[in-house]
Amino acid sequence: MRYPVDSLGMVRRLALATITLVIALATASAAADVDDDRRALVMLRILAYDKQLSQRVGDQVRVVVAYPDDDAGIAEGKRWTSAFVKASRIKVNGRAVVVVPYKVQSADGLSRALERSAAMVTCDALTRTLAVSTIAKLTRGRHVLSFSTREADVAAGLAVALAIVQGKRDEIVVNLAAAQAEGVKFDAGLLQLAREVKEASP
């Protein structure tokens, strides 16, 4: 769906207000599952700020939840999948959201899973199976926006993190160079809420 300029601006302003509200609510909550629900909603709102989303996806916005094949990874994957299924009731720039849980067993398998996807959520446990640099290479090759919950992952090459700051609140952390390499161009409105992190030298 294409929006007139004024309408698209209104959509982005609404997304900005929603992100601000959701982060504020997450600050007040200590329940992990509730926090995951809110973070999933914020991640989808962040996707709405990608001015090149229509060039990366078709009629649907596929979000891959990637987790390793171990007990901790499976539990985390289920948690995030549930959170995104709840958040998927909203649309991203007029497109329906499809949540794809994926148990990672190899880099090649993950690369295939990312085909035609808009974003990938990197479960914390996944970095025990694949290096962040490997994950970043895959998301860049497939033009898939990468999400994490750790600032260190963004400094290592992923694009966006909803990082917990001092154990109290979430902060949007963005590696703009990584996002650009993934085919993403963020609207300036998002950058009013985010803190930029430069990628660390190898």
Residues 187 and 176: their CA atoms lie apart, in Å, by 11
Which residue shows structure tokens 């891959």? 64
Q: Confidence class of residue 166 from pLDDT cuts 50, 70 and 90?
A: low
Q: How buried is residue 12: exposed, middle or buried, by Cβ count under 10 Å (0-12/13-18/19+)?
A: buried
Q: Confidence class of residue 169 from pLDDT cuts 50, 70 and 90?
A: confident
Please give the domain boundaries of the chain with CATH numbers for all domains: 5-194 (3.40.50.2300)
Element spanning 171, H or E:
strand 169-174
- Judged by average pLDDT, the poorest of 15-24, 83-92, 138-147 is 15-24
Rounded average pLDDT over 38-54: 94
Considering the chain, what percentage of its residues have pLDDT values greater than 90? 69
Element spanning 102, H or E:
strand 96-104
Average pLDDT, whole number, for the chain?
Answer: 85
Residue 186 phi, psi (nearest 5): -80, 140
Contact 117, 95 (CB under 8 A): no
Q: Confidence class of residue 31 from pLDDT cuts 50, 70 and 90?
A: very low
The closest alpha carbon to 150, from 162, 139, 142, belongs to: 162
User: pTM (2 decimals)?
Assistant: 0.83
Joined together, the tokens standing for residue 98 give 């499809």
Give the sign of the dihedral formed by CA 98, CA 82, CA 42, CA 105.
Answer: negative
Contact 136, 199 (CB under 8 A): no
Sheet containing 169-174: order of strands: 96-104, 60-68, 119-122, 145-148, 160-165, 169-174, 194-196
Element spanning 173, H or E:
strand 169-174
